[in-house]
Amino acid sequence: MQRSDMDRLIEAHLRAEAAGDTAACVAVYTENVEHDVVGAPHGALQGKAAAQGFYDQLVRDISTEEMIPTRSYYGDDFCVVEHQWTGTVPGTFLGIPGHGRRVTFRMLHVWEFQEGLISRENVWLDGGAIVQQLTAPKP
């Protein structure tokens, strides 16, 4: 798979996530996609329906302002992208009420591809930075 094809799928997915369009989030996934947010209590999810359920909740809990890629690495059927995420947390994040706080943190995506679609999304978050910002005393 070409880098440009990987980038197109990833960008479409992230744009849809930021817009709260969960159907479009999973439209770029294979039917049997593995969606794995490391440390999530539910573990890795299998299939588009399960992934969309995750995104339905996620877009209620957090609001993405920007997700800036800082590094990208490509292989024949995978891509690893480090992002700097910034947004607000009107719901809960990592089990902590956000109260609308604005947070920023690093995240790492590992994307795998099959048949021209995303077959696996693996997400690593800087949970320490998130917890620190959500639990800090208000200024």
Question: For the segment 41-67, what is each residue's pLDDT rounded down to a tens digit?
Answer: 999 999 999 999 999 999 999 999 999
- For 55, the domain range is 3-135
Rounded CA-CA distance 93/98 in Å is 7
Find the CATH number of the domain harbouring 129.
Answer: 3.10.450.50
Could you tell me the pTM of the whole model? 0.94
Asked if pLDDT for residue 121 goes beyond 80, the answer is yes
Bridge partners, residue 122, by sequence:
36, 110
Rounded CA-CA distance 60/79 in Å is 28
Split into its structural domains, the chain has a count of 1
